């Protein structure tokens, strides 16, 4: 049995290496369809499940991991910024407030899929208009849910977090390690 990550995210690839160094990457290509009236937790699990099952259909004997991350403020899901103005609007909405980062994970093997999620609360400092415009002028926020990357310059906006830091990067490492352990025991690798 092989381990396959159904994502091309460099952050997820790097974080999965913490659990198990030997896996292949085969990104899912399907459309991301969000169920109507779904909660943020239901949304990320549905998206992760679709990705895992798409790749698992081609590799039924291998363990396939699908994952998806969203940012929510007041239960409003913030996707990836579509423009500079959209990014400014997102960062402004997070300024001086707490929001939640949800990551859903799906493990698919032999026609069965296990889904779970983690949530981390993040608080931003109150930001000046100058700080907001500066951050939105960078390349960093445009491929990230919520319009910021905590592992980069976005860390300068964050006052604190409650929960798994790596979940904010897009992959709840410790929780995933415990779920994957029944297939691949990370304590047996160096």
Q: Which of 62, 68, 118, 164 is catalytic?
A: 68
CA angle 178, 107, 46 (to 5 degrees): 120
- The whole-number average pLDDT for the span 88-92 is 96
Which pLDDT value is given to residue 47?
95
Please report the domains of the chain, with CATH numbers, ordered by start residue.
3-188 (3.90.950.10)
Question: What is the band of 186 on the pLDDT scale with cuts at 50, 70, 90?
Answer: low
How far, CA to CA in Å, does 100 sit from each of 39, 88, 121, 143, 188? Answer: 12, 18, 5, 18, 34
- Kindly report the number of other CB atoms within 10 A of residue 3's CB atom: 19
Question: What is the band of 33 on the pLDDT scale with cuts at 50, 70, 90?
Answer: confident
Which pLDDT value is given to residue 138?
96
The answer on pLDDT for 34 being more than 80 is no
Our answer to whether residue 185 is catalytic in this structure is no
pLDDT (tens digit per residue) in 147-180: 999 999 999 999 999 999 999 999 999 999 999 9
pLDDT (tens digit per residue) in 124-144: 999 999 999 999 999 999 989
Question: What is the band of 189 on the pLDDT scale with cuts at 50, 70, 90?
Answer: low
Q: What is the pTM of this model?
A: 0.92
């Amino acid at each position: 049995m092989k381990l396959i990550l159904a994502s091309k995210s460099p952050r997820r690839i790097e974080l999965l290496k913490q659990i198990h160094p030997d896996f292949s990457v085969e990104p899912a290509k399907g459309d991301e369809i969000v169920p109507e009236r779904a909660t943020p937790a239901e949304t990320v699990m549905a998206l992760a499940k679709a990705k895992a099952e798409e790749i698992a259909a081609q590799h039924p004997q291998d363990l396939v991991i699908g994952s998806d991350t969203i940012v929510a403020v007041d239960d409003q899901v913030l996707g990836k910024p579509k423009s500079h103005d959209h990014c400014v609007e997102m960062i402004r909405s997070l300024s001086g407030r707490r929001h939640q980062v949800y990551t859903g994970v799906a493990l698919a093997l032999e026609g069965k899929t296990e889904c779970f999620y983690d949530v981390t609360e993040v608080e931003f400092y109150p930001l000046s208009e100058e700080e907001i415009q500066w951050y939105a002028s960078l390349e960093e926020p445009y491929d990230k849910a919520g319009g910021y990357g905590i592992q980069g310059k976005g860390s300068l906006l964050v006052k604190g977090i409650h929960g798994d830091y790596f979940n904010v990067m897009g992959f709840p490492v410790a929780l995933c390690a415990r779920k994957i352990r029944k297939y691949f025991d990370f304590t047996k690798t160096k």
